[in-house]
Amino acid sequence: MRASQFHISTLKEAPAEAEIASHQLMTRAGMIRKLAGGIYNYMPLGLRVIRKVEGIIRDEMQRAGALELLMPLVQPAELWQETGRWELYGPELLRIKDRHGRDFVLQPTSEEVITDIARNEIHSWRQLPKNFFHIQTKFRDERRPRFGVMRGREFTMKDAYSFDRDEASAQKSYDVMYSAYMRIFERMGLTFRAVAADTGSIGGSRSHEFQVIADTGEDLLVYNPDTQYAANIELAEAPCLIAERAAAAQPLTKVSTPGAGKCDAVAEMLKLPLSQQVKTLAIAVEPETAGQPVEIWALLLRADHDLNEIKAGKIEGLKRGFRFATDDEIVAHFGCRPGFIGPIGTAKPVRTIVDRTVANMNDFVCGANEADFHYTGANWGRDLPEPTLVADLRNVVAGDPSPDGNGSLAIQRGIEVGHVFYLGTKYSSALKATYLDETGKPALLEMGCYGIGVTRLLGAAIEQNHDAKGIMWPRALAPFEVVICPVGWGKSEAVRDEATRLYEQLQAQGVDVLLDDRDERPGVMFADWELIGVPVRVTVGDRSLKDGVIELQGRRDSASAKVEVARGLEETL
Ligand code: ATP
Ligand code: MG
Ligand code: MG
Ligand code: MG
């Protein structure tokens, strides 16, 4: 690819709503452009990475014996009614009507349709096992789309579904997928962890999530560094909830305040030594609904907020758990299980925000969820100790004994990029998907489902691979593996010739190379490619050509290397 024929559209500034590095950098690099909340255009540069992600997934799925098909984005309501998910799925399921008034959904996942296919297509044990997958647009009307492609409403998922004759062979299919996922994320060059997961509303009994390790992740993982034990904090069996409370040296102190959870209690706290920018913080909890995640909204009130407005009840959120409707609001939220709500636990989502907003804040008021009490001493400043693990809100700390009885626990944040589920007969029984076994009797198909967040992976990879200048793609995902930057393209024939020769040579070698023939100044070119994150930059200039060399700069390396022109790049790249 030549830059003059490509669309390079980098930005100096990220949009204000981009809270985390990957969202900022994907926008600044020109990979995505927002169309509506949680809905993005994937620009040519972004699409190149998506195709690389898909390529690796496709390759490993096929290697694992899965068969690609393609199920429609629009699915008839009847199938969803048959499994009961038409009612159960809730507002994340986008329902539409056609011109005849018939109900349809935009698929958030495809268990219904694939099971319908299976009941029509699979008749005999001889046809089993089978694993079908597709890479398709999904739509989930997420309550709070954010972080760019990380939590979109429209996004791309690879979803696979296995069909087996009995549980033992279904478990084998699960294991095959588990290994395929390990290979997929390894090939992508990501640091990740497979953790036992909550099986939640999809049902089934065995489930693992593949979590890319990143501080901005929305999930919390407990793991035992010495053993295989690792679980998402949501996991029902994990007797724990994260709480980033103060270290032992600075314990949480309960302070009695009248009407905790109300605005006046917050106002009362203002005399505490908070930073200039932020006066106080309040946390509001939505009423619990059995079995539903509880939303917790945290509001940071800035020093210039008008307390009269607060008192006049304009911050309804403090009572109702909804948003504080001014531009100055800084809102955090996270899902949490009912019963896990407590004065300490609510600290969790606030940290990230405080980290970015308030320097050196180390004394703070929190709470608003226990009658007549707030807490001080929650250290939400920069120099936090390792997050603290709390079992049922009792004071258990990181380093506590691991549930597997071996060593102690540590905690990490993660981004869920993949999820494997053993489903059993949940969908096959609802949709009566049977096959004839060896004795000629009908039996229910045993199923598993396996998802990967294709577009989310771009964000996750960037969260793990960036610096102040921009993205640092792992080579397997990079939109281009090598960029050739000729210095003086317009002026020097020698530079043009050598750059073009290298370009053609690398192309012939099968390297994904871009020649920057825009005739830009080196500073402009370098800044663009550092932002975009191309792993290797080759600079060709008159001065170095005179010495018979070109310059090679790895995106992650501080020093560059000189390579003799005569040697070419075959060995180096
Ligand atoms: P989350 O817990 O983040 O909401 P999920 O558990 O609802 O994800 P699954 O139903 O397991 O998601 O879907 C499989 C994969 O699809 C997830 O592991 C994730 O990588 C991806 N995914 C889910 N929701 C989104 C979204 N809103 N935007 C982008 N990717 C998503
Ligand atoms: Mg979800
Ligand atoms: Mg999840
Ligand atoms: Mg999941």
336 pLDDT band, cuts 50/70/90, is: very low
Average pLDDT score over residue span 459-474? 98
The answer, yes or no, to whether residue 361 has pLDDT greater than 60, is no
480 pLDDT band, cuts 50/70/90, is: very high
Helical ranges in 295-363 per DSSP H: 307-309, 317-320, 350-357
How far is the centre of ligand 3, averaged over its atoms, from the C-alpha of 561 (Å)? 44
How far is the centre of ligand 2, averaged over its atoms, from the C-alpha of 500 (Å)? 48
Tokens 């809100």 sit at which residue?
A: 393
Instruction: Spell out a b/e string for 418-433, using b for 16 or more CB atoms within 10 Å of the CB, else e.
Output: bbbbbbbbbbbebbeb
Q: How far is 452 from 442, CA to CA, in rounded Å? A: 32
6 pLDDT band, cuts 50/70/90, is: very high
Residue 199: per-residue pLDDT: 47
Average pLDDT score over residue span 210-231? 82
Which numbered ligand comes closest to the C-alpha of 141? 1
Q: What is the position in ligand 1's atom list of the atom closest to the CA of 142?
A: 27
Q: Whose CA is nearest to atom 4 of ligand 1?
A: 151
How far is the centre of ligand 2, averaged over its atoms, from the C-alpha of 108 (Å)? 10
- The residues placing their C-beta within 5 Å of ligand 3, an ion, are 416
Give φ, ψ of 374 to 5 degrees. -125, 175
**pTM across the whole model:** 0.75
Which numbered ligand comes closest to the C-alpha of 135? 1
Q: Identify the top-confidence range among 318-322, 365-369, 437-441.
A: 437-441
How far is the centre of ligand 1, averaged over its atoms, from the C-alpha of 43 (Å)? 22
Give φ, ψ of 531 to 5 degrees. -65, -45
Residue 370: per-residue pLDDT: 40
The answer, yes or no, to whether residue 508 has pLDDT greater than 60, is yes
Average pLDDT score over residue span 469-482? 98
Other C-beta atoms closer than 10 Å to the C-beta of 557 total 10
Q: Which residues line ligand 1 (CB under 6 A)?
A: 109, 140, 142, 151-152, 155, 157, 416-419, 451, 453, 455-456
Give the least confident one: 37-51, 217-231, 323-337, 540-554: 323-337
Summarize pLDDT for 254-306 with one digit per residue, the tens: 444 433 333 333 333 333 223 333 333 444 333 333 333 333 333 444 434 44
The answer, yes or no, to whether residue 325 has pLDDT greater than 60, is no
Residue 403: per-residue pLDDT: 65
Which numbered ligand comes closest to the C-alpha of 453? 1
43 pLDDT band, cuts 50/70/90, is: very high
Q: Which of 207, 235, 233, 210 is nearest to 222 (CA)?
A: 233
Q: Whose CA is nearest to atom 5 of ligand 1?
A: 416
Q: Which of 519, 517, 508, 514 is nearest to 534 (CA)?
A: 514
Vertex 337, ends 334 and 340: CA angle to 5°?
A: 100
The answer, yes or no, to whether residue 510 has pLDDT greater than 60, is yes
Tokens 């793609």 sit at which residue?
A: 473
Residue 404: per-residue pLDDT: 66
pLDDT-above-70 percentage for the chain: 69
Give the least confident one: 378-387, 454-463, 550-559: 378-387
Q: What is the position in ligand 1's atom list of the atom closest to the CA of 200?
A: 6
Mean pLDDT of the chain: 76
What 3-state DSSP class applies to 181? helix
| 177, 162 contact by CB (below 8 A) | yes
Q: Which of 351, 344, 415, 350 is nearest to 383 (CA)?
A: 351
**What strands, in cross-sheet order, belong to the sheet with 74-76?**
74-76, 103-106, 94-97
Q: What is the position in ligand 1's atom list of the atom closest to the CA of 140?
A: 27
> What's the ipTM?
0.99
How far is the centre of ligand 4, averaged over its atoms, from the C-alpha of 356 (Å)? 28
Site to substitute for ligand 1 among 150, 178, 456, 457, most atoms within 8 A of C-beta: 456
Q: Which amino acid is at 476?
A: A
Residue 473: per-residue pLDDT: 98
Summarize pLDDT for 59-87 with one digit per residue, the tens: 999 999 999 999 999 999 999 999 999 98
Q: Identify the top-confidence range among 181-185, 218-222, 269-273, 293-297.
A: 181-185
Other C-beta atoms closer than 10 Å to the C-beta of 438 total 10
How far is the centre of ligand 4, averaged over its atoms, from the C-alpha of 46 (Å)? 24
Site to substitute for ligand 1 among 146, 334, 419, most atoms within 8 A of C-beta: 419
Summarize pLDDT for 162-173 with one digit per residue, the tens: 999 999 999 999
The answer, yes or no, to whether residue 496 has pLDDT greater than 50, is yes
Q: What is the position in ligand 1's atom list of the atom closest to the CA of 209?
A: 18
Write out the DSSP string of 62-123. Answer: HHTT-EE----SEEEHHHHHHHTHHHHTGGGSEEEE-TT--EEEE-S--HHHHHHHHHHH--
Identify the bridge partners of residue 488 per DSSP, sorted by sequence position.
Answer: none
End-to-end CA distance of the chain: 18
Q: How far is 358 from 570, CA to CA, in rounded Å? A: 50
Q: Which of 378, 437, 571, 363 is nearest to 164 (CA)?
A: 437
| 548, 528 contact by CB (below 8 A) | no
The answer, yes or no, to whether residue 409 has pLDDT greater than 70, is yes
Q: CB burial class (10 A; 0-12, 13-18, 19+) of residue 12? A: exposed
Average pLDDT score over residue span 458-472? 98
Residue 126: per-residue pLDDT: 98
